[in-house]
Amino acid sequence: MYEHIEKVRTDSSDNIQNTIPPDMINKTHQSDSRDLSEIPDSSIHLVVTSPPYNSRKLYDDDLTLHEYLSLIKEVFESIFPKLVDGGRIVINLANIGRKPYIPITDYVSHIFREIGFVQRGEIIWDKGASAGSSCAWGSWKSSSNPVLRDVHEYLLVFSKGTLKRHKGERNDTISKTEFMEYTKSIWRFNTVSAKKIGHPAPFPEELVYRCIQLYSFEGDVIFDPFMGSGTTGLVALKTNRKFLGFELNRDYVDLANDRTELYLLNRKYG
């Protein structure tokens, strides 16, 4: 049960970094993330993602908890060989349900450790006033059955192999102030409007920015297996990284590519 604690490596990672084919890089592909056979092994440095929530949203097939966790297991088992030694994953999750409460984060951490990832930590994203004010109090002003109204989500952080990345010639881009702030386990920033972005569950650029700054070097490859509207790709480009995105839904693939291509055009001619 505790083998994963004994196995943890802290030596510098090896430096095997295979190259992603040029026609795949900086694009979102209409592909199912359960099959990553097109991606070379040891080619991804960081994954930042939020899987589909297991609640009725436009893109969900209303999966049972078992089906949902099987999807997570299949996708992240496929990702394991694609990460470089020391590569990282940050997965954004919200716990759901009240009858009973379903600690998705608990299940997912367990699955990740079974796959062989080493957990680095757990960040609480305090969404504050932007969290939306659910009125599902349970028993109003009574201890009979009060219900918690979550104003936070989680970011679970994992490494493959060793906790320490081999830096080589690569540069850090994080500032002193950012480092002091982002290494705290509670992050506070607002959500982003689904309507404005055109996707039912986008995460804010700030979330991706912090993960990229803290957990990757300039020039690294950032992968999002559930790319949605392309936020991960956009921030990867803004921070001088490369990206690769997989997304099932054709409309979201187009939205993601529009966002990243527009940014690249503006950078070139703007």
Ligand X SMILES: C[S@@+](CC[C@H](N)C(=O)[O-])C[C@H]1O[C@@H](n2cnc3c(N)ncnc32)[C@H](O)[C@@H]1O
Interacting residues toward ligand X by CB under 6 A: 32-34, 50, 52, 59, 199, 201-203, 225-226, 228-229, 231, 246-249, 252
- Relative to beta strand 27-30, strand 9-12 is unpaired
Residue 104 tokens read as 């998705």
Least distance from ligand X to the Cβ atom of residue 68, Å: 10
The 3 state secondary structure assigned to 137-179 is CECCCCCCCECCCCCEEEEEEEECCEEECCCCCCCCCCCHHHH
| In contact, 213 and 182? CB cutoff 8 Å | yes
Q: Report the first-to-last Cα separation within the chain, whole angstroms.
A: 55
Type and span of the H or E element at 68: helix 65-79
Least distance from ligand X to the Cβ atom of residue 88, Å: 17
Least distance from ligand X to the Cβ atom of residue 9, Å: 30
Four-CA torsion 41, 45, 50, 54, nearest 10 degrees: 30
Beta carbon nearer to ligand X, 158 or 226: 226
Beta carbon nearer to ligand X, 87 or 228: 228
Beta carbon nearer to ligand X, 52 or 86: 52
Give counts: helices (H), strands (E), the chain.
Answer: 8, 10
Beta carbon nearer to ligand X, 161 or 225: 225
E-strand ranges in 151-257 read 152-159, 162-164, 186-188, 221-224, 242-247
Least distance from ligand X to the Cβ atom of residue 78, Å: 10
Beta carbon nearer to ligand X, 118 or 253: 253
Least distance from ligand X to the Cβ atom of residue 245, Å: 9
Residue 124 tokens read as 């609480």
Least distance from ligand X to the Cβ atom of residue 26, Å: 17
Beta carbon nearer to ligand X, 50 or 159: 50
